[in-house]
Amino acid sequence: MNEPTTAHNRQPTGEGSQGCRRVLLKLSGEALMGDQSHGIKPEVLDYLAGEIRAVTAAGVETGLVVGAGNIFRGMAGSASGMDRSTADNMGMLATVINALALHDALERHGVAARVLSALAMPTVCEPFSRQKAFHHLAKGRVVIFAAGTGNPYFTTDTAAMLRALEIRADLVCKATRVDGVYDQDPLRNPNAVRFDHLSFQEVLSRQLKVMDSAAISLAMDNAMPIMVFDMMVAGNMRQAVSGKQVGTLIS
């Protein structure tokens, strides 16, 4: 199936908006650990699958990018002396493991899903192409984009923004363990102040650790809004895509 030929205009996000037709959900690899120090916790997979099922049940086409910090982080490997390209390739492969785990959880919860990998590995998943992504989204399947951009030196934040733009998403949902963006780490400073809304330029100038600067710059250049919210509050994901502000909106 080819890319839709009709114009796709992003819906406004916030009070009174009509919600989203298509979203890209960004999850960190650490989100899959739960209270473990590493790896994947099955209960977290089941919870996330249920939250995503509520989004798809509302008719929202859903793409998903997951990191690999629960298994291997390329920058950490590079910092310890490993060749950066090699380390990043290992990190991209680790995202495929997480993608397959999420795929399995979604299918077990009755949600059709497909894994599209930027690194070709046809025995376990499909290779990425925009045409395949549009086809699966049109069929109501969750598309899990694995292996980052397929290139070293790019994070999964940048991969998420790139895929969101490629599939013409209305919104990037950055699911975290806190209820939005703060001026300081709220887990370390109880006096940290939460923002309801930020501009892309404010995120860059304040050096707020929302997504890396390449991802924020891509979003700014292409007017792609980002909603940052607490994924562990049941229903937040569904509310975010329906146009309700449940965290910090960056636009």
pLDDT value of position 215: 96
* Measured distance CA(122)–CA(175) in Å, rounded: 29
What residue numbers does the annotated binding site cover?
26-29, 69, 73, 88, 149-156, 176, 182, 185
pLDDT digits (tens, 9 = 90+) for 198-215: 999 999 999 998 999 999
Please say whether the dihedral angle defined by the alpha carbons of residues 189, 193, 197 and 201, taken in this order, is positive or negative.
negative
pLDDT digits (tens, 9 = 90+) for 213-244: 999 999 999 999 999 999 999 999 999 998 88
pLDDT value of position 113: 98
* Domain segments of the chain as ranges: 22-250
CATH of 22-250, one of 3.40.1160.10, 3.10.150.10, 3.30.200.210, 3.20.20.70: 3.40.1160.10
- C-beta separation of 219 from 161 below 8 A: yes
Give one DSSP letter per residue of the chain, joined into a string.
-PPP-S--PPPP-STT----SEEEEEE-GGGGTTTSSSS--HHHHHHHHHHHHHHHHTT-EEEEEE--TTT--HHHHHHTT--HHHHHHHHHHHHHHHHHHHHHHHHHTT--EEEEESS--TTTSEEP-HHHHHHHHHTT-EEEEESTTSSTT--HHHHHHHHHHHTT-SEEEEEESSSSEESS-TTT-TTPPEESEE-HHHHHHHT-SSS-HHHHHHHHHTT--EEEEETTSTTHHHHHHTT---SEEE-
pLDDT value of position 15: 42
- C-beta separation of 218 from 210 below 8 A: no
- Low-confidence spans in the chain with pLDDT less than 50: 1-9, 11-12, 14-17
pLDDT value of position 7: 34
* Measured distance CA(237)–CA(10) in Å, rounded: 18
What residue numbers does the annotated binding site for ATP cover?
26-29, 69, 73, 176, 182, 185
What residue numbers does the annotated binding site for UMP cover?
88, 149-156
* Measured distance CA(218)–CA(165) in Å, rounded: 9
